[in-house]
Each structure stands twice: as structure tokens, then as C-alpha cells.
Amino acid sequence: MVWVPLGPQKTDYLTLLHTLHNNALKMSLEWLVAWSWSLDGLRDCIATGIQSVRDCDTTAVVTVACLLVLFVWYCYHVGREQPRPYVSVNSLMQGADASGLQNGYVYCQSPECVRCTHNEGLNQKLYHNLQEYAKRYSWSGMGRIHKGIREQGRYLNSRPSIQKPEVFFLPDLPTTPYFSREAQKHDVELLERNFQTILCEFETLYKAFSNCSLPQGWKMNSTPSGEWFTFYLVNQGVCVPRNCRKCPRTYRLLGSLRTCIGNNVFGNACISVLSPGTVITEHYGPTNIRIRCHLGLKTPSGCELVVGGEPQCWAEGRCLLFDDSFLHTAFHEGAAEDGPRVVFMVDLWHPNVAAAERQALDFIFAPGR
């Protein structure tokens, strides 16, 4: 017997093909209908959005636009009035325009000013400020400051005449009239690299001088002979916004200095100009916690700085560091055709004042405190 496999009949093939064709056609129609509905939905969504924009309240749109304009104007105004801060800018410009100047040292005559209070109440005020700082933070590292405040009267009265800070003496700091460049190497090198930048901004400022008036922002200081002008960017720890806007690159440079004193009344940054024939009377600075840095911008012959009896000469593009709590003077004995002696002056921390002490001194001698 022979086995013969049974296969589907011809009619079964036709039926199967017909069924598959109908199913495919049905699926295609369903897909086309669904796609049509999707397009209709998308079109309806777009139309609804456009109509919503058309129907938007005009008053609301105008109000939002006005608010945006006011916000942009406010940001511009604030940025223009207050340059990018590297210091705490105090609104009290203590003494900057209040009273006379003596050898460039501003006395505001206010009994509330720590720097200008020369009486028995000064030590009590300083001690009160130190106690307040210690309560908020810590007494750790405050031993030298505490000792200095406790015996401030003895220190100021018993100091040798060569070094007598007028306001505050921090004990146990190395004392020398001049400092080497290595004392604040980073800041010295940064200032010297930007010598041309500072010089260009000074020359732009100096063009405003005339024979009959003192340009806005400049101060004339008291001298026995000649003329001494200063243009402050930071005066006694307080930023001078109007002046900073005239020297924007120099001001930004201050923010890059690591040891610049900017948060207490002993910190200053200014352009100092001596005309030929000027002599600055011998005087003492207010404290020994700082060193004063002079970057020479224009240094004609016949100009000298004498600190603690030791003379030094400025050099263009070079920094000269000294302790102005020593008795010091400066003069310009050059001829009229030599032009002025110009330096950029900035106060830096004494390298032996510790970080914790700097923070405490910023608090104790904060502007307006």
C-alpha cells in the first residue's frame, strides 16, 4: 500500500487568499481613517492656539512688556550705580566729603567713628566690638588683638617716635620701614603686569584737569608747598562708585588682589599725583596692620619717598612697599617741565596678620561702626 499525503484543495487556497485580502484592506482603511482623525486633531490644536493668541487681552500683553522693560532698566541701573563688588560697600561715606583733610588723612570729626575718635572712649569702643565679634564667632586666634586693645594706650604712648600709628597698634608684628616684593608677591606681580592698563585710565582722567578747576572726583590735600591730588576708588574701606566707573579696569583689578584691604577703615585705593615743587609734611599712618603699595605710573627725577629716615625712589611699572605707620614724607623737587609724579596706591594686609585676625579686624573697624 502506497502512502499519498493529502494537501489542501484548490478551493481552500482561494478562500484563504480572499480572507487575507479582506483583512488587509480592512486594516488599511482603519489606519487611513485614524490618520485622518490625527491630522484633524493636529489642525484643530494649531487653530485653537492661533485663535488663543488672537484673542489674548491687549492690556495684559502691554502690562507684561512694561514689566519686562522695567526689570531690564532696574538691572542696568543697579549695575551702573554699584560696580561689581570685591568689598562690602557701606552707604556711610564717613568723612569723604564732610571735613578738611590733613596730609591726605580724612578726619570726619564724628564721635561715632572709630578711626577718628582720639580719646579715652576709643579703647572701650574697640573692646566692645571685639566682644561682639567673639560672641558671634570665636575667641580663637584673638589673643594678639585682645592684648593690643587692652594695652592700646601704653603701646601708642610708649612707641619710639620713628613708628607711632595714630589709631591702632597690633603687637608682635615684625617692624620695618620697607618690605621686599616677596612680602605680597602675587599682588605685586599682578599690579605690575597691569601697569599699562592703570596708566591709560589715569591719562584719560588727567585730561580733565584745567588751570582753574578741580575735576569731579579728585581731592586736593593739604601740603606746605605745591599740590597733591588724589582720586579714590576705595576710601577708608568704602567704594566710591562714581570714580570706579571712570576706571573700570583698574577697579576690576582690585578684585583680583588676594591681600587688598577693602572691608575696614584702614583700606584705600587711589591714584596719587604730586606736582613739581610739592612737599608732604612728615606724618604717621593710622595702623601697622597694613603695608602700603605704590605702583609707579609716572616717576620723573627729583622725587623721593622717605620712610623711617630711609629714602627710596619710585620706578615706573614697579611696586614699592612700605609701612606707613613709620614717620614718612614724600616730595617732588623736579622742574615744572618734568610733569607730575603719579603712583597708584593700594593698602595690603601686613603678611604677618593671620586670616582669623583679618576677619576680626574687618569686623571691629568696619566702616560706620
pLDDT of residue 324: 96
The CA-based dihedral angle spanning residues 63, 69, 73, 75, taken in that order and rounded to the nearest 10 degrees: 90
Q: Which residues of the chain have pLDDT under 50?
A: 1-11, 13, 17, 78, 81-109, 111-112, 114-115
pLDDT of residue 295: 98
pLDDT of residue 241: 96
pLDDT digits (tens, 9 = 90+) for 253-279: 999 999 999 999 999 999 999 999 999
163 grid coordinates: 613708628
pLDDT of residue 135: 93
CB 172 within 8 A of CB 224: no
CA distances from 176 to 24, 290, 307, 322 (A): 101, 12, 9, 8
* Alpha carbon of residue 153 to chain centroid: 34
Comparing CA positions, the residue from 68, 51, 78, 107 lying closest to residue 236 is 107
pLDDT of residue 268: 97
pLDDT of residue 158: 78
Domains of the chain: residue spans and CATH: 181-353 (2.60.120.330)
